[in-house]
Amino acid sequence: MQTVPFPISAASFPLHQGVCQLLENALEQALLITNDHGEVLFATRQTRTILRTFFVETSDSVIPDELLNWLIAGDTSKPLVVRHPENGEVEVHNFPLSPSGSLSLMRLEHKKVDRGPKALIALGLTAREAEVLYWITEGKTNPEIAIILDASPDTVKKHAANLYAKLGVPTRTSAARCALSVLLANA
């Protein structure tokens, strides 16, 4: 059996077209193999979709400049996180395939950004207070929130008072502003 020496170039790494298509369709993960020149040696269909979504300058033959710069000059021991306003974020992990780092396997993980009540826990609120605050930002009244959360209006009022104190704000409007700063930052 003959082995291929590393590093290799895209030209010396031909994969039979049928094998490529079979791998692209069979692999459920977003995987990409590239060299240190940014040439795409292999990419799954899911990878190509993610790249088109998150990077403006997308090509089937080379990786986007942002990925190449990270691969060459960045800290590839930590994942690269790329955020998109509507589509969430993608986390790119690098796994060097050669000792010199001239050949890399990348795994791309697409994550939707949570714009709901869970995002508001970052403000130091309990899960229930975060839910109440979320519905306040949606313009709901305490009785409406009580129906949505299947709680009494007095319980909702108490949660609202507690979250105002935790946020250091006097009104629903100022609490909603705090919430929107978190919700819109994640958008």
Any idea what the CATH number is for the domain that residue 22 is in?
3.30.450.20
Dist. CA 39–CA 34, nearest whole Å: 5
Is the same domain home to 129 and 177? Answer: yes
Cβ atoms of 68 and 104 within 8 Å: the answer is no
**Taking each helix axis from N to C terminus, what angle separates 172-185 and 127-137, rounded to the nearest 10 degrees?**
100
Give me the domain span that covers residue 62: 10-111
Domain with 148 in it: what CATH number?
Answer: 1.10.10.10
Is the same domain home to 103 and 14? Answer: yes
Q: Is position 36 within any domain?
A: yes
What pLDDT score does 26 carry? 56
Dist. CA 158–CA 168, nearest whole Å: 15
Is the same domain home to 105 and 81? Answer: yes
Domain boundary among 69, 92, 111: 111
Domain boundary among 94, 111, 128: 111
Is the same domain home to 66 and 91? Answer: yes
Return the bridge partners of 109, or none: 91
Is the same domain home to 102 and 134? Answer: no
Q: How many distinct structural domains can be found in the chain?
A: 2
Angle at alpha carbon of residue 96, lines to 95 and 101, rounded to 5°:
150
Tokens of 143: 């009785």
Q: Is position 3 within any domain?
A: no
Is the same domain home to 159 and 96? Answer: no
Cα 143 to chain center, whole Å?
A: 36
- Whole-structure pTM value: 0.54
What pLDDT score does 28 carry? 73
What pLDDT score does 16 carry? 54
Q: Tell me if residue 91 falls in helix, strand or coil.
A: strand
pLDDT by residue, tens only, the chain of 187 residues: 444 444 444 444 455 555 556 566 656 788 899 998 999 998 888 888 888 888 877 788 999 999 999 998 888 889 998 887 667 788 999 999 888 878 999 999 887 766 688 888 888 899 999 999 999 999 999 999 999 999 999 999 999 999 999 999 999 999 999 888 888 765 5
Is the same domain home to 101 and 123? Answer: no
